[in-house]
Chain A
Amino acid sequence: MATFVDRYPEEAKVVQATLVVSFISLGIGAFFGLIQALHRTNVLRVIDSVDYYTVLTGHGVLLALWFTIFFLVGLFTWAIVKGFDRPVPDIRLTWAWVGLMTTGAVLATTAILAGFVPEIPMSADVLYTFYAPLQAHPVFYIGTAMFIVGTWIAGADWFLAYRGWRQDNPDERIPLQAFMVLTTMIMWFVSTLGVAVSVVVFLIPWSLGIIDTVNPLLTRTLFWYFGHPVVYFWLMPAYLLWYTVLPKLAGGRLFSDPLARVVFVLFVLLSTPVGIHHQYLDPGIAEGFKFIAMTNTMFLLLPSLLTAFTVVASVEHGARQRGGEGYLRWLGALPWRDPAFAGMALAGLMFAAGGFSGMINAGMNINYLVHNTLWVPGHFHMTVGTAVALTMMAGTYWLLPQLTGKPVYSRPIGLLQVITWFVGMVFMSNAMHRGGLLGIPRRTAEPQYQNFDFVAAVGSIGEIRMQIALGGVLLFVSVVIFLFNVAATWADDRVDTPVDDTIPEPLSSSSGAPLVLDNLALWTGIAVVLVILAYTLPLAGIISDAGLFGGSRGFSVAFSLEWLVDATVAAVTNVSLDSLAGVAPVDAVVDSLQEVSR
C-alpha cells in the first residue's frame, strides 16, 4: 500500500531533511540541558559558571527555536501536501526556504558555540530571549533573521499551495489539517513582525556599531510581542497531531471538525495581543496595559479548554470502539503499548498540569510571587518541553514510517523512551515549581548564596535539587534512546506497509461548520485590529519615555496622545448620553473637541 513517500517522494525528502536538522538540534540542546541540570544543582560542575550562560543560550535556542520549528515546518509540509492531496507548487521554492532556514540556524548556532572558545572574538550569550541590553555578535542576529525570513517563505509556499488547490476546488471546505497550517501561519506572520523589527531595525545596527544605543524596553516589548505567540507556534503542531492523529491512534475519530476550526481561529485572534503578560514586572509600562494583556490572556484559556474536551472525547470514542466501558474503565481499553499514542496522551496529561501553572503566571498579582523564579522554567518544561516536545517525538513514531517507507526500528524501545521522558519531567518540573515558590531564581549558574538559605515548608532544598538532577538525567537518556531509535529506523530497509496512515473522517464533519470559519481574510483583519488596540499605546508610551533608540527624549508622543485620548473619551461620553436624550451626537463631539483644543 502506497504511503506518503511513495506518492510524494520529493516532498518526503524535504520533510526528512527538516527532521534531520530538528533532531540534531534536539541532541545538542538536550546535552546542554543535562549540563545545566547537573551544574545548577551542584551535582557535577564540568564547565565554568561563566560558560553556563553560553550553555543556557544554546539549550534555549536549539530546543525552543530550531528543534521545534524545524519539526513544525516538516510536519506542516506533510500536512499541506496530504491535506490538499497535491504536491507543493514548486519544489525549488520549498528547498529554498529549507536552505535559508538551515543556513540561518547554523550561523546563529555558530555564534553561540563560539562563546566557548575565548580565542574567537564572537559570542551570543543573550539567552533565548535575545533582547537588549545583552548584546550578541551580529552573526547571531543575522542568522536569526534569515531563519525567520525562511519561515515566512515557507508560509508563502503553503499559501501558494492553497491558492492552487482553491482554483481547482472553489466550493470545497479547506481540509482540516491544511486549515490548521494556514491559520497558524497567519498568526506567525502577524507576530514575527515584532521580532523582525527588533532584530533588523535595532539589534543588528546596534551590534554592528552603526547606532550607539537602543531602547531596551522597546526591544523587550517587541521580543515579547513575538515571544508569546511563538509558544502557540510550538503548540499548534502538537494540536494538529492531537486533533487529527491521536483520535485515529486511539481507534476512534475526531469528535468535531467545526470545534477544531474554532479553536485555531481563536488562536489567530488571541495569541498576539497578550505579550505584555511576560512583562508584568517591567517598569515603564502602565499597569492598565498589563491588565488588558492579562484579560486577553485569560481568554486564551478558552481554546485550550475546548481542546481538552474535544481531544479527550475523541480519544474516548476510540476507547469505546475498542470495547471500553464504564466512566473511567474505558481508559484501560486504549492502546497504551503504542509509543505514538502513549507519548501523545502523556504529553496531553502534562499539558493539563502546565495549564494550571500557566494560569498562575498569567495572573498579574500571583505572577509577582513567581516572576523570574524557577517556577517559570518548571512551567515551560511542562508545556513546550513536554506537551510539544513529547508529542513531536511520539508523532515521529507514526510519521517517520510514512516519510521513509520504513517501520519503526523498535516500538517497545519507543514506549520506554516516551515513558522515561514523562517520568523525568515529573521529577524535574514539580521540583522546579516548588523551588520557584521558595524563591530560587531562574537563569542562574549558582543559586547558592552566602548567609542565606532557602527554607522549604515540605521536603528540603537538597531533595528538590536531587529531583531536578535526576529528572535532567532521565530526560537526556530519553533523548539518546529516541535518537538511536530514529537513526536505526532510517538505516532500516523499506517494507510494503510501514504504517496505517489513513485518517478517518470526524464524527461531526466540516459540512456542519459555519462557512465564516474558513474566511481567513476576516480573521486576519480582526487579529490585526486587536494587535493595534493592545500595542499602540504601550509602544507609544515606551518610545516617548526614552526615545526610539534610547538615551534621549524621543518624540513628544505623550502630549499629542493624551490630547487624542482625552478628546475621544469626552466625545464618547457625550455621544452616549446625548443619544439617550435625543441630542445630535455630532454636535457634542464637535463641542468637546473645541473644549479640548481650548
Chain B
Amino acid sequence: MPAESNTETGEVATPAGDGTGETGTPVPDTESIDDEGFVIGSGRSGVVRQLGHDDFDPVGTLVLIAIYMVIVGAMWIFMYFVEFLGGDLTVIG
C-alpha cells in the first residue's frame, strides 16, 4: 500500500517532484528519485496510516521502559554485591 498523501493540518507536506530550481543549478536525476520526488531512501516512505493523538497508545514504549527498569534494578542489586560484599564498607560523612 503506497503512502497516503497528507491532508491534515501540520502533517508532512507532500512535496512536488518537479523541482522548481529556485536557485543554484539543481540537476534533475529521475533514476534515483522516488515517487514523492525525493532521492531514494531520504524521503518518508512506508507510512501506511495516519494515527492521531487519541488513536495512539504507546504500549510498546511501556514494554521497553519496563524492560529497561528491570535491567537497571537487576544491575542495582548486582552492584550491592560488588560494592558491599566485595570489600569493606565505604563510610561517608
Contacts and interface: CB of A to CB of B under 8 A. Distances in A.
**Same complex:** yes
Nearest to A280: B92
Contacts of B83: 365-366, 369
Contacts of A2: 20, 22-23
Nearest to B48: A323
Contacts of B49: 320-321, 323
B39 A498 contact: yes
Interface in B17-44: 17-29, 32-33, 36-39, 41-44
A500 B15 contact: yes
A316 B63 CA distance: 11
A306 to B, nearest CB: 11
Given A255-B58, A408-B42, A494 B19 contact: no
Given A1-B16, A323-B49, A497 B10 contact: no
A1 B90 CA distance: 63
A251 B46 contact: yes
Given A251-B47, A365-B92, A502 B24 contact: no
Given A328-B63, A335-B45, A407-B42, A496 B37 contact: yes
A502 B65 CA distance: 29
B56 A320 contact: yes
Interface residues of B, number: 57
Contacts of B47: 251, 321-322
A559 B48 CA distance: 71
B42 A498 contact: yes
Contacts of B43: 497, 499-500
Contact of B39 (A248, A328, A401): A401
A251 B50 CA distance: 10
B85 interface: no
Nearest to A494: B26
Contacts, number: 157
Nearest to A504: B12
Contacts of B16: 1
B70 interface: no
B77 interface: no
A313 B61 contact: yes
Nearest to A353: B71
B19 A507 contact: no
Interface in B51-93: 51-53, 56, 58-61, 63-65, 68, 71-72, 75, 79, 82-83, 90, 92-93
Contact of A401 (B22, B29, B42, B46): B42
A6 B24 contact: yes
A330 interface: yes
Contact of A323 (B41, B44, B46, B56): B46
A369 B37 contact: no
A200 interface: no
B50 to A, nearest CB: 7
Contacts of A500: 12, 15, 36, 38, 42-44
Contact of B61 (A5, A309, A405, A507): A309
A119 interface: no
B11 A497 contact: no
A5 B23 CA distance: 9
Interface in A234-272: 248, 251-252, 255
Interface in A486-526: 493-500, 502, 504-505, 507-509
Interface string A512-552: 00000000000000000000000000000000000000000
Contact of A251 (B21, B22, B44): B44
Contact of B58 (A291, A316, A365): A316
B37 A497 contact: yes
A578 interface: no
Interface string A278-317: 0000000001000100000000000000001100110011
A497 B24 contact: no
B72 A356 contact: yes
A368 B89 CA distance: 11
Given A5-B24, A507-B52, A499 B42 contact: yes
A326 B93 CA distance: 50
A499 B52 contact: no
B26 A9 contact: no
A194 to B, nearest CB: 25
A84 B1 CA distance: 36
Contact of A312 (B20, B41, B64): B64
Interface in A396-444: 398, 401, 405, 407-408, 411, 437
A338 B41 contact: yes
A352 interface: yes
Contacts of A326: 60
B82 A327 contact: no
A495 B45 contact: no
15 contacts: A1-B19, A1-B20, A6-B22, A321-B50, A321-B51, A328-B63, A335-B46, A398-B42, A495-B27, A496-B17, A496-B28, A497-B37, A502-B13, A507-B56, A508-B53
Interface of A: 1-2, 5-6, 9, 248, 251-252, 255, 287, 291, 308-309, 312-313, 316-317, 319-324, 326-328, 330-331, 333, 335, 337-338, 352, 356, 359-360, 364-366, 368-369, 398, 401, 405, 407-408, 411, 437, 493-500, 502, 504-505, 507-509
Interface of B: 9-13, 15-29, 32-33, 36-39, 41-53, 56, 58-61, 63-65, 68, 71-72, 75, 79, 82-83, 90, 92-93
Which 10 pairs from chain A and chain B are nearest by CB?
A: A496-B19, A505-B10, A313-B58, A407-B39, A499-B42, A500-B43, A313-B61, A365-B90, A507-B53, A323-B48
Given A251-B46, A330-B60, 16 more contacts: A1-B15, A2-B23, A6-B23, A6-B24, A251-B44, A287-B92, A309-B65, A313-B61, A317-B51, A317-B56, A320-B56, A323-B46, A328-B64, A335-B46, A500-B36, A505-B10
